[in-house]
Amino acid sequence: MSLLNPIVNILPDLNKAFLETIYMVGVSLAVALLIGLPLGVLLFTTTRNLFFESGIVNRSLGFAVNIVRSIPFIILLVALLPLTDLLTGSTIGPRAASVSLSVSAIPFFARIVETALREIDRGVIEAAIAVGATPWMIIKDVLLPEAKPGIIQGLTLTTISLIGYSAMAGTIGGGGIGDLAIRYGYYRYDNTVMITTIVVLICLVQLIQMVGDKVSYIVNKR
Amino acid sequence: MIEIRSIRKEYVSKKNRVIGVDNVSLTIQTGEIYGIVGYSGAGKSSLLRCLNLLERPTGGNIIIDGIDLTSLSSKELRKQRQKIGMIFQHFSLVSSKTVYENVAFALRAAHRSKDATKLRVLELLEIVGLSDKKDVYPAQLSGGQKQRVGIARALANEPTVLLCDEATSALDPTTTKAILQLLKKISSELGITIVLITHEMEVVKELCHRVAVMQDGRVIEEGPVYEIFSQPKQELTKQFISSVLDFELPSHLIDESEGTIIKIQFEGQTAGESILSDTLQSHAVKGNILHGKIEYIQDVPLGILIIELIGDAVQIHSALEYIKNRSSSVEVLKHVTA
Ligand SMILES: Nc1ncnc2c1ncn2[C@@H]1O[C@H](COP(=O)(O)OP(=O)(O)OP(=O)(O)O)[C@@H](O)[C@H]1O
Ligand SMILES: [Mg+2]
């Protein structure tokens, strides 16, 4: 009982931290899906010989995506503080941290979607063009279903990366498990909390990976 | 009717410019099965893909049933494409959709109602003989079955034209035969114009009414299949048909024979054997058949006989004249005068 005591004591804190992390990851994942998915589709369909072929659009989007992706997250976090303040009215807390997390997740996920779409056999897209399908039908009924296993793998990857980034965001006042680890592990040398956090994180990531793999396997008809 | 008018297709990349199709003009009649042959890189696929503007030609016009495809807006073009079915060498089915959904996709592209789509898909699967596979994913099908789905999809919107790019090249000989039979049936029962690319003359012989031979982006020879087989003009055409018609005569047979060796070609209903027996009866020569073959091209026989004639020079000469007048071509492989 005495061994479990420290854990029981921090249970409310731990609980709150995890809920905050899940909130941050959830929000930014939703934004990544909402904006990153269409962006990835646009990146792909504007390439040569595809129905939205446009060198200018493709290059500008690619450039924008690369800029965001080349900034280390911790710097992006600081650089985006004014935007964060504008959007959420605050620069601390999980809500504020979700802004920079979303901004970094969008291009990350968009590239993953683009890569998954590139894997599709060109002939399948041509066959759809040849039956007279509209671009929208091709995207909805050919591109996305064909790339679904890859996109789900990408979603798994994005979720796991976001958990890592959310911890970084936590260190500068974002809340969540990063914040917890700093407060207990760094300032108070409390190993119990540290180890508990790590164990829970490992379990969480394993679980996400497992679910992701399983779903991706189920939707793969190849 | 498909009118191909002065079609050019250039592929321009940063480094170079490749000419895929070089000023090709052809007319393909309604209901015809039209073959395009040529070696790899000759421009067959480029030309075929220009027919439904999968590849937009650099110059020229494609006119199908009076409509110039090159002048259409993208919306009108989509509508016209529904009337041009296409099947592919590697089938190109959507792997995440069932057989039913793959075929239904083409019908949805044409805005058919749900009920009409359902009826039509089942009808199409019946035609291609895959009714029992309707809820199966492509990965669970054999190559021949996949191509049948491809054919069903291509036929979905009752096209007037069917384009086939090496539709049987990925299949084994038996499956190839079955698919060719299906295409033949489609052509005769539905009256669809079929344009098919192949590098096998066997396919042309089995199926096509007319054939074009391509080389370096150009059509170097074109005509009715029987005519091309019996009277090829270009060297490349001869090479292609030799894969069907020729046979190797062992060289020692020619060397060791004591007579004159001739190769006779018979066309149509002329029976080779009777000419030979007539010749032997009316001339003082002896004849041995060294080799013979009859090919049926579109059910019309085309025969080749290789014969050794033994006798004196005058008789042989007159026998040759006699045969020349009765057969379409005579070639002397070895001349011996006793
Ligand atoms: N998308 C492309 N980009 C650049 N060059 C191309 C492209 N498609 C074809 N070509 C070139 O055009 C020429 C004709 O190619 P095409 O694919 O039409 O030949 P093919 O007769 O169909 O050959 P195969 O029997 O190998 O299929 C070739 O030199 C090829 O390299
Ligand atoms: Mg080809």
Tell me the sheet residues that pair with B221.
B213
Predicted pLDDT at B303: 85
**Domain harbouring A108, CATH code:** 1.10.3720.10
- Cβ of B223 less than 6 Å from ligand 1: no
**What's the number of domains chain A is made of?**
1
The residue among B184, B210, B242 that closes a domain is: B242
Interface pTM (ipTM) of the complex?
0.87
Lateral strand order in the sheet of B2-12: B17-28, B2-12, B59-64, B67-68
**Interval between CA A99 and ligand 1 midpoint (Å):** 49
The residue among B242, B266, B283 that closes a domain is: B242
| β B59-64/B67-68 pair status | antiparallel
Tokens 């996305």 belong to residue:
A144
Q: Is the distance from CB of B85 to CB of B77 less than 8 angstroms?
A: no
With residue A151 as reference, give the H or E element that holds it: helix A144-169
Q: Quick one: B238 and B272 in the same domain?
A: no
Out of B44, B46, B50, B196, give the residue to mutate to test ligand 1, the one with the largest number of ligand atoms within 8 Å of its CB.
B46
| β B210-215/B218-224 pair status | antiparallel
d(CA B17, CA B292): 48
Q: Is the distance from CB of B323 to CB of B275 less than 8 angstroms?
A: yes
- pLDDT score of B317 more than 90: no
Nearest atom (ligand 1) to Cα of B166: 27
Q: Quick one: B190 and B130 in the same domain?
A: yes
d(CA B305, CA B321): 16
Predicted pLDDT at A3: 62
Q: Do A126 and B93 touch (CB under 8 A)?
A: no
Q: Quick one: B184 and B271 in the same domain?
A: no
Taking CB atoms and an 8 Å cutoff, what residues of chain A touch B52? 130
Predicted pLDDT at A80: 92
**What's the number of domains chain B is made of?**
2
Cβ neighbours, 10 Å, residue A91? 19
> Across residues B276-295, what is the average pLDDT?
84
pTM of the predicted protein model: 0.89
Which spans in chain B are helix H? Answer: 44-51, 74-81, 99-109, 114-127, 143-155, 173-190, 201-207, 225-230, 235-245, 251-256, 272-282, 313-326
Predicted pLDDT at B74: 92
- Residue A126 at interface with chain B, using a CB cutoff of 8 Å: yes
Q: Quick one: B141 and B269 in the same domain?
A: no
Q: Which domain holds residue B102?
A: 2-242
Q: E strands of chain B, at which residues?
A: 2-12, 17-28, 33-37, 59-64, 67-68, 84-87, 161-165, 193-197, 210-215, 218-224, 260-267, 286-297, 300-310, 329-334
Taking CB atoms and an 8 Å cutoff, what residues of chain A touch B90? 121, 123
Q: What does R_g of chain A's alpha carbons equal in angstroms?
A: 21
Pick the residue of B12, B50, B55, B96 with the most A CBs within 10 A to test the interface with A by mutation: B96
Q: Quick one: B255 and B301 in the same domain?
A: yes
Q: Which residue of B has its CA nearest to A147?
A: B96
Taking CB atoms and an 8 Å cutoff, what residues of chain A touch B139? 221-222
What tokens appear for B333 in the block?
């492989």
What tokens appear for A112 in the block?
């993953």
Q: Which domain holds residue A74?
A: 5-219
d(CA A156, CA B187): 50
Q: Quick one: B156 and B274 in the same domain?
A: no
Predicted pLDDT at B13: 85
Taking CB atoms and an 8 Å cutoff, what residues of chain A touch B85? 130-131
Report, as ranges of residue numbers, the positions in chain A whose pLDDT lies below 50.
1
Looking at per-residue confidence, does B303 or B22 come out higher?
Answer: B22
Looking at per-residue confidence, does A131 or B329 come out higher?
Answer: A131
What is the pLDDT confidence band of residue B272, given thresholds at 50, 70 and 90?
Answer: low
Q: Quick one: B137 and B265 in the same domain?
A: no
Q: Residue with the nearest Cα to atom 31 of ligand 1?
A: B41
